[in-house]
Homo-oligomer: A and B are copies of this chain.
Amino acid sequence: MIAVTILGNNSAIPAHDRHPTSQIVQTTEHTFLVDCGEGTQMQMNCYKIRRKNLNHIFISHLHGDHYFGLIGLITSLALNNRLQDLHVYSPEGLSEIIDIQLAVSASKLPYRLIFHIIQNEEILWEDAHFSVRSFMVSHRIPCWGFYFQEKKFPRKLNMDALKKYNVPKAFFENLKNGEDFISEKKVIKNKQLTFASSPAKSYAYCADTVYDESICSKIKEVDMVYHEATYLDDQVLKATARYHSTSKQAAAIAHKAGAKRLLLGHFSSMYDVLDNFREEACEIFKNTEVALEGVSYLV
């Protein structure tokens, strides 16, 4: 299960009651925060996001609308007596910004704050069930996308069939991993003894980026892609000049990547109403939604 909850869907200048970029990626076990614009901690309050399982924060790049809320969140967690480690992944420069602000108020955190500098396209974090990988996108300053991937689930045992063929328990783990049952007397195909597991889901967050087709191969056939659409398509020149994308460019990336679903965000404050973003993108990629604050999108 991957669920994406939008905390902020606006670009740099907060407007129309929309907030700078931030979203929560939740799995059954983990809560990840992706970008942390000003007001993120208030948005987490507003939408009742529990912080207990939040141990990893991914910051795509160091434009303020993607990290100005981090220092407030860090200090509030401290005031709430958090004790468990907190990991922050970002381009170089963020730890200095946080440290200088903690120093000036003579604050000492009651938990360990661990910074990881993203320098390559690599696995940033993983456990037995899930991984988070960085991939480069194209913005005015170094900027990273994040690929969230469930690991393949084990096949489910068909207990009736197992009884029928008298398969000993010792073989169950191998069966879950897709192996056939082989004994001295017989070979039984895995499919006769197990059911298919739920498909492993994937979600790609493309951060801030100009239209860049090299992204497509990095997010190939992803279940859901978030791609910025700062502008509608009549502003394509402005978008390109500012290293941003339009609705149709986002749709083209989703289409060329063979993604199953597209979520648009990072809307310019010049737009009060957002309907047109979906309409324009749908001309190229039908399964498009506009990222709305407070809404959880189940991948």
Contact = CB atoms under 8 A, between A and B. Distances in A.
Interface in A97-116: 97, 100-101, 104-106
Given A39-B38, A64-B75, A106-B140, A15 B93 contact: no
A101 B45 CA distance: 26
Contacts of A62: 104-105
A19 interface: yes
A97 B103 CA distance: 10
B12 A76 contact: yes
Interface stretch (A66-74, A170-178, A255-263): A66-74
A189 to B, nearest CB: 58
Interface residue range, chain A:
35 or more
A128 interface: no
Contacts of A72: 14, 20, 38, 64, 68
Nearest to A41: B14
A13 interface: yes
Contact of A69 (B38, B45, B93, B97): B38
A281 B107 CA distance: 31
A14 B45 CA distance: 8
Nearest to A15: B45
Nearest to A14: B42
A45 B17 CA distance: 8
A64 to B, nearest CB: 5
A160 interface: no
Contacts of A275: none
Contacts of A45: 14-15, 17
A101 B97 contact: yes
Given A42-B19, A97-B101, A13 B80 contact: yes
A63 interface: yes
Given A41-B14, A76-B12, A141 B69 contact: no
A6 to B, nearest CB: 16
Contacts of A20: 72
A127 interface: no
A79 interface: yes
A184 interface: no
Contacts of A80: 13
Tell which of A68, A69, A93, A141 has the most Cβ of chain B within 10 Å.
A68
Counting from the closest, the 10 A-B pairs by CB-CB distance are: A38-B72, A93-B104, A62-B104, A39-B39, A68-B72, A13-B76, A14-B42, A63-B105, A64-B75, A13-B79
9 contacts: A12-B76, A13-B80, A14-B76, A17-B45, A39-B42, A62-B105, A64-B75, A68-B101, A97-B101
Given A13-B79, A64-B75, A96-B100, 5 more contacts: A12-B75, A14-B76, A15-B45, A20-B72, A68-B72
